Amino acid sequence: PYAGPVESKNEAAMSELVPESRQKPVVPMKPMGINANLLGYIGIDTIIEQMRKKTMKTGFDFNIMVVGQSGLGKSTLVNTLFKSQVSRKSSGWNREEKIPKTVEIKAIGHVIEEGGVKMKLTVIDTPGFGDQINNENCWEPIEKYINEQYEKFLKEEVNIARKKRIPDTRVHCCLYFISPTGHSLRPLDLEFMKHLSKVVNIIPVIAKADTMTLEEKTEFKQRVRKELEVNGIEFYPQKEFDEDLEDKTENDKIRQESMPFAVVGSDKEYQVNGKRVLGRKTPWGIIEVENLTHCEFALLRDFVIRTHLQDLKEVTHNIHYETYRAKRLNDNGGLPPMTVETEENHESNL
């Protein structure tokens, strides 16, 4: 007789324990303001874009040295290379100016901006090189300057409280201007490149190539290449620094066909077939600087700026600077010699 009410009580308890069915909450729509890239593709290759942004903020340093006798068009060529007045303008010495007794080193810095990329370009000129009657050891001031820049970088690097970004004044590239004689390299050319090829990236350039015929130019280039090989002079890009087969194939072509670049520089524009072109006006026509059938300036520009600029910087840091650093630290038992000034700096840093 009591079963009925007990069952009804149990059923009532069960009904209390069972949760009520609720409606699912409405999912809010994605706000329109959120960047689609953040919610889109994620992969490790996005690091390239991160590196690009970071590098664009910090900018680049590139230091180029020009070496050669006066009157070979060094300043004009560098201005043509970067399409702006980046080198000192000197069309020979003025009558009032005296020819320097020794080689002077003049560094001129510029900031070039293109497409949001900033590059601090420093052009190092060497007036007085090879202009004397006695040119014995005239490369020594240049070698000293290059080593001084390595020393500056090393001192900053071994500081206790060193800068986050060390200013880079090291010479990344040296354009060596060869006089267009058509015969052979002078003993001065060979001695300079023999000494300096161990400490800097040398790119040989035949200046004012419009003074030779096409046949003379081809023969002279072959002769220069042979002389450099016979004398064991390594110019950039060096064979031993090729990292893989692709680099080797590309650089072999440059070493065997293009080097040394026979170039013509000009910062004047002329009208040719309705287009404004950089060129040099002669009685028989206009020599177009960027025309490959006229000269190899375009090849040099692509080589230095478009394809090998970063490699020039890396070879300078990983090969030439590392060689200097290892020798310097080894000679001084691991650290540069402590002077009173460096001791005081260290104490103040501590």
What string of pLDDT tens digits covers the 350 residues of the chain?
Answer: 445 555 555 555 454 555 555 565 555 554 555 454 555 667 787 888 888 787 777 778 899 999 988 888 888 888 777 776 666 554 444 545 555 656 778 888 888 777 777 888 888 888 878 877 778 888 888 999 999 999 999 998 888 888 788 888 999 999 999 988 878 888 888 999 998 988 999 999 998 888 888 888 889 999 999 999 999 888 888 888 777 788 888 888 888 888 889 888 877 778 888 888 877 888 878 888 877 888 888 888 888 888 888 899 999 999 999 999 999 888 876 555 555 455 555 455 44
Instruction: Report the predicted TM-score, pTM, of the whole model to 2 decimal places.
Output: 0.76
Separation between Cα atoms, residue 280 and residue 104, nearest integer Å: 29
User: What whole-number distance in Å separates Cα of residue 237 and Cα of residue 347?
Assistant: 44
CB 75 within 8 A of CB 87: yes
In sequence order, what are the beta bridge partners of 122? 63, 109
Measured CA to CA, the distance from residue 284 to residue 38 in angstroms comes to 62
Measuring CA to CA, which residue among 266, 229, 241, 312 is closest to residue 83? 266
Inter-residue contact 328 to 335 (CB < 8 Å): no
The DSSP-derived string for 96-159 is: SSPPPSS---EEEEEEEEETTEEEEEEEEE-TTTT-SS--TTTTHHHHHHHHHHHHHHHHHHT-
Beta strand 285-288 with 117-125: parallel, antiparallel or unpaired?
unpaired
Question: Which CA distances in Å does 286 have to 32, 82, 273, 277?
Answer: 59, 21, 11, 10
Assess contact for 108 and 114: CB atoms under 8 A.
Answer: no
Residue spans of the domains in the chain: they are 58-261+292-332
CATH class of 58-261+292-332: alpha beta
- Give kind and range of the element (H or E) at residue 348: helix 340-349
Question: E strand or H helix at 346, and its extent?
Answer: helix 340-349
C-alpha–C-alpha distance, residues 124 and 88, integer Å: 10
Cα torsion at 188, 192, 195, 196 (round to 10°)?
180
Give the Cα separation of 133 and 136 in Å (integer): 9
